[in-house]
Amino acid sequence: MLERLGLDLARDHVVFPWTGNTGSVALPITLADAAHRGRLTEGQRVALLGIGSGIHSVMVALRWSETAVVGNFP
């Protein structure tokens, strides 16, 4: 699919090999992992494509921005 869309395969971030099928939380897990590993930069355009084996699919486009978290967490 990425090749058909003309997107660089090296820019894809896949977590399935170590998370397995996480269903409805696959997109937030993948986004959080990409951010954690430094794969996202301020202002970068990101496409989140969650395509299931059935009739379910989720597609979201966003521009990445760091969020400041204030407070003390355990």
| Residue 6 domain flag | yes
| Residue 70 domain flag | no
Work out the burial of residue 30: count CB atoms within 10 Å of its CB; fewer than 13 is exposed, 13-18 middle, 19 or more buried: buried
Residue 42 CA: distances (Å) to CA of 2, 9, 46, 67: 23, 21, 11, 10
State pLDDT tens for residues 17-71.
888 888 778 888 889 899 889 999 999 999 888 877 777 778 889 999 876 666 6
Angle at 59 between CA 58 and CA 64, to 5 degrees: 125
Question: Which domain CATH number covers 48?
Answer: 3.40.47.10
In this structure, which amino acid lies at residue 65? S
Cα 72 from Cα 3, distance rounded (Å): 44
State pLDDT tens for residues 1-29.
788 888 888 888 888 888 888 877 888 88
Task: Count up the domains in the chain and report the number.
Answer: 1
The whole domain housing 53 covers 2-63
Q: What is the pTM of this model?
A: 0.71
In this structure, which amino acid lies at residue 29? I
